Amino acid sequence: MLLIVGLGNPGKEYERTRHNAGFMLVDLLSLSAGIKLEKKGRGLWGKGRLCGEEVVLLKPQTFMNLSGEAVSEARAFYKIPATSMIVAYDDCDLPLGKLRVRKDGGSGGHRGVNSIIASVGSREFQRIRLGIGRPPHNDTAGYVLTPFAKEEQGDLEEMLNRGKEAVELLITGGIDQAMNKFNP
């Protein structure tokens, strides 16, 4: 069983913001696989099948900096090891619309990933970094909480569709195939 986590902030005011790119990817996976997400504990969870594999989709409802609490809760409930997790999150170090797949590693300064590493006690989980671009005036905190502009919607949708493909390839082909395909 895999735990697929999309990072973001709960609430209508954050719904289409850059920081919620991970939530958007989980929503796309949920819709395409017919997996309904329901409130349980500190997250919205849904269990089902994706590419023939049993998966749990999770959108933490703890706000970004405490994402690890919801991840730990889901992992404990389903007894899922860190190595069976895929975490999708926004990354302002990547241009808008680009994505990267990673096997493991540090947080790159992302507080949601920091929280997961601290709560899980491991850096050994797969990641999908979703490019949101750099803030124009070095105001990263403000920038990540802004919605995508109308002219950015095409790049966003394309990136989310590629993110879905990356998750599917991680399941069917493994990390090396996914990294070869999605990391130029």
94 pLDDT band, cuts 50/70/90, is very high
Number of independent structural domains in the chain: 1
pLDDT of res. 132? 97
Q: Which residues are catalytic?
A: 19
- DSSP label at residue 145: T
Rounded Cα distance between 165 and 35, Å, is: 17
The CATH number that applies at residue 124 is: 3.40.50.1470
pLDDT in tens, 24-55: 999 999 999 999 999 999 999 999 999 999 99
Query: How many other β-carbons are positioned within 10 Å of the β-carbon of residue 62?
Result: 19
The helix/strand/coil state of 131 is: strand
Q: Which domain holds residue 130?
A: 2-182
Give residue for tokens 């399941």: 171
Joined together, the tokens standing for residue 100 give: 């990267």
Average pLDDT, the chain: 96
Phi, psi (rounded to 5 degrees) for 153 = -60, -40
Q: What is the pLDDT of residue 139?
A: 84
Q: Are 91 and 108 in contact (CB under 8 A)?
A: yes
